[in-house]
Structure 1
């Protein structure tokens, strides 16, 4: 482009000569891929030549991703199993042609292997595409580091007018990128600036990000234009991060209009590829039909072979977005599921501690394949947790589906679950106020991610102290997604005839009518918050003769101006009075009877973080259990029990032949409990 500008201004050429030169120049720019930056992540582990990891990486880049490059703007995949799994992703710029995209992928594949030989994590940026691989799952995770600035060497005076027009242009195209899914998180624009000419801008995120995550990434990128990362006064700049990139120039750099999405979305196949751009019918028939027929025939043979080998002919996991860990590795890690390695017993099976051959400690959740509910929980948990990545959610390392075994493998949490520390007078002494407040904030951030910030909108439905795990630094991790439900982005509530969860944490509209929403989780969080402050369990809190639950007891103390009396005596002098009272007030707001009166989790986080922020005054909470439940019934029914299909299931494992009391929706007993 610069050559054409020089020739056209210094020498007089006939128009057809300039046209020919323009064609040759543009053709060379398209066919010769322009490498921008490579990041080899030097702080990561290395692999060795001939290793299983190298073979998986080579197959992922040269076969899996490369094959789908010609028909997609982006794709991600995973190859191999733990500990040699490799995750990969490619993303082409939203305006490039299929051929340019494929050529860029081919060039980037060869160069990333050359530049980052023996590195287990790397990213490479070309002008038209990026490729990334890692030994850790990164899809759907917002990452804005490492960050690089690449800039045009020619100078430009950045006047206040220029900066304002540039800012307005990026505000506009960021809005386009996050609100128009047909463009796959890509948008571009150009504006005219007097004295400068046209200014061309472009933004793009990896398509798996949520709109909010994409907006945050792009906004951060634009802000970096004017930081020490980039020099001032340049004709063009671009910011590169793993999750997004932003760019502006004073010359056009795009090819065609953004590629539109196909009329119907392509389904995910068994290697986890999601196509986001279809080929035209003519190109598909002429170019890929023979190959497709061969692949279909091979696929049919493989499916038939695998079905014969399976004990049960059903596909339990529909995505290979995380490792399938071999059974013998898990058996060795847990010493053949030795009783001494048993950490506890859940409603659907035991949990074991294990140690892998590399020394990594794991927790293995073992479900019975003969349990219909256990199978449903397994499917739900695998499907959901594989798509969720957050510091306050438990990390699923993989699963195992061999023989009769259904196993979920998680990071081991050395400090077990919150209830172990909270409701034990010995362990509770270690939970000072600073630690409890940190746990409260961490749980709130995790729920907010589920409700608003993840690419899926998730209602957990079983938030309770025993489902909050604590890592070595006492950071909370929300666990157990077997009962969770996915909501549409615009969906407000749903209802069910099958109540599942834990009494004592259930919102009244859910327990009585089967209606659940994000406000149901807010209610559970409110109960949990009051339990953390008081060190007392709601479902076991009875003041004989007074008929109080923890919630109504907290309300009476609060309304009498004696809120600090609710606080756990073990806290002694480690607390700040304003913080404790603030938490109690927020907890009471979360357990209001009308869901509309409960705050959202984003409001909860704002209230937790600012003691100067005015907080609404709560009214009496929904539960008044003690007024209607006789003491004899309190001993018969454990209100902290889990509920499945309208039946009470205690925290210990209930065998199929155990008798349980039916508590279905519309049951007069339930209506009495939840009505003041």
Structure 2
């Protein structure tokens, strides 16, 4: 399946009730660029990297590697403890092969981590597709003032997330919107991105919700390079986010970041692998 430049109006809206235990959230996408055999060298390389993912996660909850033709990355939500991160990555790195048993590329998100792989290099490259959006079906009672308060908060948190180092690019914050409604957000990028491309990713993630679910009191946008999330109650561990991170003696292998991108709401060129379009899910809470 190929992309076209004007694909946002073609977004497929799928209404699906997700259980209240949102910690069980899982969503995956398999690429359509081709298949391999389970006996191939690619599968052997992929198996080896996936088996080692959880044990190689750095202090910030990120690891990327290239072995043979297999390029793999894992990212944990910035506020989870390392042992919880490793447990999540261990499960997802096994489950992703069950869901996408012979596709050259795949990505899987869960509540606390993401695992991604491809036979084409993507390390250090910005990618905002495929994307998955979850939202709460309750809208703000004062949408204009709500959006103003939300955007002021997100501008601040986005800048702090992009300013993060090579171990973690994540930040959180909160404000009080109209009618004393709380707004709590956590924004995060894969730390192999430059500050400019982290900003661009989060801006483009925010652009997905405009015109569809812009006034919802809770939204998550999952992309391969960044996570955009806010809700009306605190959901993150701010203490963990404020902990100083100490780099390991041997840092994870990552590709060099590309030159800074231009800040824009226009989606970038398709990432390695052809995937389905954006899908939107309604949270049953």
For the superposition of Structure 1 and Structure 2, which TM-score range results when normalised by the shorter chain?
0.7 to 0.9
Q: Across the two proteins, how many residue pairs are aligned to each other? A: 242
TM superposition shift of 1:232: 4.6
1:135 and 2:119 equivalent? yes
- Among 40, 61, 75, the alignment partner of 2:63 is 75
SS in structure 1 at match of 2:92: helix
1:120 and 2:104 equivalent? yes
| C-alpha distance 239-202 of structure 1, shift in aligned 2 (>3 A) | same
What pairs up with 1:260-659 in 2 under 5 angstroms? 260-263=243-246, 265-268=247-250, 274=252, 387=256, 389=258, 449=259
SS in structure 2 at match of 1:118: coil
| C-alpha distance 203-132 of structure 1, shift in aligned 2 (>3 A) | same
- Aligned partners of 1:165, 1:250: CA distance in 2, in Å? 12
TM superposition shift of 1:71: 4.8
* Counterpart for residue 89 of structure 1: 73
| C-alpha distance 183-78 of structure 1, shift in aligned 2 (>3 A) | closer
* Counterpart for residue 15 of structure 1: none
What pairs up with 1:48-59 in 2 under 5 angstroms? 48-59=37-48
TM superposition shift of 1:183: 7.3
SS in structure 1 at match of 2:183: strand
1:212 and 2:214 equivalent? no
Deviations 1:426-470 (A, max 9, x none): xxxxxxxxxxxxxxxxxxxxxxx3xx559xxxxxxxxxxxxxxxx
Gaps of 5+ in 2: 1-20, 263-285
Q: Which has the larger strand fraction?
A: 2
TM superposition shift of 1:182: 7.8
Deviations 1:402-429 (A, max 9, x none): xxxxxxxxxxxxxxxxxxxxxxxxxxxx
- Aligned partners of 2:121, 2:127: CA distance in 1, in Å? 12
* Counterpart for residue 280 of structure 1: none
TM superposition shift of 1:115: 1.2
SS in structure 2 at match of 1:144: coil
Q: Which has the larger helix fraction?
A: 1
SS in structure 2 at match of 1:181: coil
TM superposition shift of 1:45: 1.4
Structure showing greater radius of gyration is 1
- Aligned partners of 2:137, 2:97: CA distance in 1, in Å? 29
What pairs up with 1:122-271 in 2 under 5 angstroms? 122-157=106-141, 159-181=143-165, 184-227=168-211, 230-257=212-239, 258=241, 260-263=243-246, 265-268=247-250
Are the counterparts in 2 of residues 33 and 104 from structure 1 also a CA contact under 8 Å? no
| C-alpha distance 259-112 of structure 1, shift in aligned 2 (>3 A) | farther
- Aligned partners of 2:257, 2:194: CA distance in 1, in Å? 11
TM superposition shift of 1:214: 0.7
Are the counterparts in 2 of residues 35 and 126 from structure 1 also a CA contact under 8 Å? yes
Are the counterparts in 2 of residues 105 and 131 from structure 1 also a CA contact under 8 Å? yes
Using the size of structure 2 for normalisation, the TM-score is 0.76
Are the counterparts in 2 of residues 70 and 101 from structure 1 also a CA contact under 8 Å? no
- Aligned partners of 1:183, 1:51: CA distance in 2, in Å? 33
- Aligned partners of 1:119, 1:261: CA distance in 2, in Å? 38
Gaps of 5+ in 1: 1-28, 275-318, 322-385, 390-448, 455-676
* Counterpart for residue 34 of structure 1: 24
- Among 58, 66, 81, the alignment partner of 2:54 is 66
- Aligned partners of 1:199, 1:88: CA distance in 2, in Å? 34
